[in-house]
Amino acid sequence: MTSLLVARKGALELRIEKLERRLSYARSMNASVALHGPDEPPVGDPSRKDSLALIRAAIHRKAARTQENADINTLVSDFGYLAVNTTTRDFEPSESNMTFARIVLAASTNDPVPEARTTNLPAEPTARALVQFYESNILPLYPAFSGTSLHALVSDVYQEHPRPIRSSEYWLFWMVLAIGSAAQSRSRRDEHYLNAVEFVARALPHADRALKPGYVTQVQSLLLLTQYAMLDPAHFDSWHPIGFACRAVVDQGLHQDPPHGQQMDPDSLDARRRAFYCVYALDRAISMAHARGFSFYDDAISVALPSPLQASTPFSGAGPVAKPTADASVCLFRLRQLQSAWYQTLYQGNPTEPLPDAASFIWQKYFEMWEWSERLPASLPAAIRKMLDLELRYSYVFCIASSARRAQVPAYGRFLIFEHVIAYIDGIYDVANLAVNAAFYTYHDALRVFFMGSQFSAVLRDARDLLLTGAPIPPPLSSPGAVQPPPPPVNRGTGDNLDRSLRCLERVKLTLKLYGERWEDVLSLMESFEATSADVWNDLTTRQATRMAVPTEQWQPLPVA
């Protein structure tokens, strides 16, 4: 093990030297572009943002910044996560200004976060409200730290003479405010989003110490960065911080329960397990949303699920005591385990080897997810239950859909996709139109809407006549002793399948348009969906028009004899 660590450290040092050379070159190119770029634009109306000179200058600045970022990102991709030992506690700031945090941020940043506009704290009631939102909607799903400690930290920050507060605590404070604010945003121009960006700017100066390798605070800090990145893809790419978080839990040994001979009190063991499964759950969700491989396989993991957290009343000062609620995090962790099992087999297995008896495998995994849903506690908060139901519908469709190891989807599978997509789109459309955001919906939900809409178009394109008639589609025969195909989902919609299909396609576009107000990239998804589904949409509208056209001859009065 010692020789391995020495080898890793040596490899890292060589790559850091490579980074220094590339950064030096990138900065020299940056200076060159600035020196030989266009002259100052002529004095004129400053509101003319379409000025050609200003556009040229902006292009040169962006090219220089893109080149520098590309050099950093190329280096990070060169040494990868495995080359960075995230337990190396002597990975400190040096003369070259290289720290682990700066590698993480260089890899994760899309557009730079603007400088903070103020050094003042937000009003305490504002901070308390954002912390309360986080505690009610996000912490129940990802309890990497306790709500009690979070509220205690807020109290300490707002003391007239606060105790010395560590950088990791400031990071926690500002990132929770940023996530709580961004999660309530409805538009990339609204106050919630602008405040979130401001709070992140206040957090970033603490990154070097908060992301310091070898401590559990590093895992918590990376989780917070990942959660924020899921809400603000304009500034951060969540794929990278969750990758570093996965590397951190592996290097710190959190992916394995302690040996039986090692004594650990139950609370500490559960806290350790929760930290691991928070990372695990986000890694699985992000990887599936982007159709990428997981950061580690399930075979490398040996961690029991944590004990359910004891129900506690959210901090509210005064007022009625809330009813006890079930631990939503354990429910989510278990679903991620089920998703992980079939995703690894169907999408990360050898694509040249067809899955033997794929139908039995898929019905078995479908049954396990259905069984999970039947066991959800009745006391789950309504918003979280709604979110988990949408996750279930998404999982059903993803599992049944065509993959490299199971190319053909039977007619009954297409029927199930048809029904589950309609139920999912109806649900997420309602969520997107709520006056107040609840639970934890992110940019990845927009990716899921696009995925589900694309699957819907595909099954209509492949089996349009069969699905639109509404005639019963019998389930296929199963192998002896295998799990039987699931029964048909309950249709709670109105109208026939033609009306339901048109409404579903319309709601996909409307939902993407709504999410496009928050995340600009989603508008491209909406345009792509409109283009790829145009043939299906045109055919369905033609069918509807034909059906509605009533021959006028039938209604003309007969001549009187």
CB-based burial label for 288 (10 Å; 0-12, 13-18, 19+): buried
**Average pLDDT across the chain, whole number:** 84
Quote the CA–CA distance of 88 and 252 in Å, as a whole number. Answer: 10
Q: Which long-range contacts (CB under 8 A, 24 or more apart) does 8-13 make?
A: 8/83, 8/85, 9/85, 9/88, 11/79, 11/83, 12/79, 12/83, 12/84, 12/85, 12/88
Whether residue 273 has pLDDT greater than 80: yes
Q: Identify which has the larger pLDDT, 295 or 35.
A: 295
Confidence of residue 351 (pLDDT cuts 50, 70, 90): confident
Quote the pLDDT of residue 57. Answer: 46
Q: What is the pLDDT of residues 225-266, one digit of tens each?
A: 999 999 999 999 999 999 999 999 999 999 999 998 888 999
Provide the pLDDT for residue 263: 85
pLDDT exceeds 90 at position 47:
no
Helix (H) or strand (E) segment spanning residue 223: helix 216-231
Lowest mean pLDDT among 74-78, 112-116, 215-219, 464-468: 74-78
Q: Between these two residues, 74 and 447, which has the higher pLDDT value?
A: 447
pLDDT at res. 492: 72
Range in 108-112, 155-159, 353-357 the model is least confident about: 353-357
The tokens for 44 are: 């004129």
Residue type at position 233? P
Residue 97 in this model has a pLDDT that exceeds 90:
no
Domain ranges of the chain: 120-292, 328-548
pTM recorded for the entire structure: 0.82
- pLDDT at position 556 is 55
- Quick: pLDDT tens for 358-416: 999 999 999 999 999 999 999 999 999 999 999 999 999 999 999 888 878 999 999 99
Strand partners, 302: 256
Answer with the residue of higher pLDDT: 80 or 302: 302
Determine the pLDDT at residue 180: 98
For residues 540 and 536, give the distance between their C-alpha atoms in angstroms, rounded to a whole number.
6
pLDDT digits (tens, 9 = 90+) for 155-186: 999 998 889 999 999 999 999 999 999 999 99
What count of Cα atoms within 13 Å lies in the side-chain half-sphere of residue 278?
27
Select from 455, 361, 369 the least CA-distant residue to 415: 455
pLDDT tens digits, 62-94: 454 454 455 445 444 444 433 445 555 444 444
Confidence of residue 191 (pLDDT cuts 50, 70, 90): very high
Crossing angle of helices 328-347 and 358-374, rounded to 10° = 170
Res. 154: pLDDT tops 90: yes
User: Region 346-354: what's the mean pLDDT?
Assistant: 89
Can you tell me the mean pLDDT for 290-300? 95
Residue 44 pLDDT > 60, yes or no? no
Residue 194, pLDDT above cutoff 60 = yes
Does position 554 have pLDDT exceeding 70, yes or no? Answer: no
The string of DSSP letters for 34-77 reads HHHSPPPPPS--TT-TT-HHHHHHHHHHHHHHHHHHHHHHHHHH
pLDDT interval class at 549 (50, 70, 90): confident
CA distance 21 to 19: 5
